[in-house]
Amino acid sequence: MKSLLFPVAASVAALVLFSMASMPAGTALAAEGAPESQGTARSPNPLDGKTFVADSGEKGKKASNKDTIVFRDGRFLSEGCTPWGFGDAAYKAGIEGDGIRFHAQTVSPTHGTMLWDGLVRGDAIEATSLWTRDRWYWKMKKEFWYRGQLKK
């Protein structure tokens, strides 16, 4: 009986080690009782749940508009751009120095594309957008800046 158990135990151990090697980092710790395994889901996007109120303007010019920038459920939305058909879009964010850098691309069916790049430090946001609109007979590019604070 002893001789049959060793090959079975070795096979089980090899399977466990092989399956753990393909797990994302931290998964095994969470399974052992780390806070992540206690029902507290953390958003993969560190800006989720934050809304900023910002002044905005065309690059090189004074502020001419106000905007509300919303991060929710992995999505980015510029409320100031919705009248032109720009909806929400997935965003990517990551730590950069003492802040969080984000990128997004919003699209309007009638008014083109906006590429967003920004940095959130504490309660402050600074961002830019590059608005492009292509037609077969012309191409428009405008860059805008945004500066604001977390909405409380």
Q: Where are the beta strands (DSSP E) in 59-138?
A: 65-72, 75-78, 89-96, 99-108, 112-121, 124-134
pTM value > 0.75? no
Is residue 34 a contact partner of residue 56, using CB atoms and an 8 Å limit?
no
Q: From first to last of the 152 residues of the chain, give the pLDDT tens digit.
A: 445 444 444 443 433 333 333 333 433 333 333 344 344 555 678 999 999 999 999 999 999 999 999 999 999 999 999 999 999 999 999 999 999 999 999 999 999 999 999 999 999 999 999 999 998 888 999 999 999 999 98
DSSP character for 24?
A: P
Q: Is 20 left (phi over 0), alpha (psi -120 to 50) or beta?
A: alpha
Helix and strand totals (H; E) in the chain: 2, 8
| Beta-carbon count within 10 A of 12 CB | 10
